[in-house]
């Protein structure tokens, strides 16, 4: 399965509302997991089996908890049994489709 998630604290003491330290704590959990992943400006994508991916999301959420009085979690999942390597393969198929499309 692939998941895209975003986790951030609210009620932070930061005057500018920045949450980069909290996000870094979450991304560190993802990177340490050893699962295939990609982080962009808005989401982190992770690929793996259901239990291992959800464990990473839980641990990443727990890592953000100390940074605010509450935590917001947004999660989207693509559950496609029997497929692996889709973190890159989906993008590759999209790029091929764009190359094959008339301008």
Half-sphere CA count of 37, side-chain side, radius 13 A: 21
* Residue bearing tokens 């992770």: 46
pLDDT in tens, 64-79: 999 998 999 999 999 9
Distance in angstroms (rounded) separating the CA atoms of residues 34 and 52: 10
Q: Judge whether residue 91 has pLDDT over 80.
A: yes
Domains and CATH numbers, the chain: 2-100 (3.30.70.930)
Two structure tokens written together for 72: 């917001």
Average pLDDT of the residues in 73-101: 94
| pTM, to two decimals | 0.89
On average, the pLDDT of the chain sits at 93
Q: Phi/psi at 44 (nearest 5 deg)?
A: -120, 130
pLDDT in tens, 13-62: 667 778 899 999 999 999 999 999 999 999 999 999 999 999 999 999 99
pLDDT in tens, 9-27: 987 666 777 889 999 999 9
Reduced to 3 states, what is the DSSP secondary structure of residue 100? helix
Q: Judge whether residue 103 has pLDDT over 80.
A: no
């Amino acid at each position: 399965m692939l998941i895209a998630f975003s986790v951030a604290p609210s009620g932070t003491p930061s005057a500018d509302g920045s949450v980069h330290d909290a996000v870094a704590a979450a991304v560190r959990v993802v990177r340490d997991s050893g699962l295939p992943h990609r982080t962009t400006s808005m989401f982190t994508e992770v690929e793996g089996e259901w239990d291992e991916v959800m464990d990473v999301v839980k641990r990443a959420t727990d890592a953000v908890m100390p940074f605010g009085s509450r935590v917001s979690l947004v999660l989207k999942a693509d559950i496609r049994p029997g497929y692996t390597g889709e973190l890159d393969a989906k993008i590759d198929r999209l790029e091929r489709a764009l190359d094959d499309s008339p301008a």
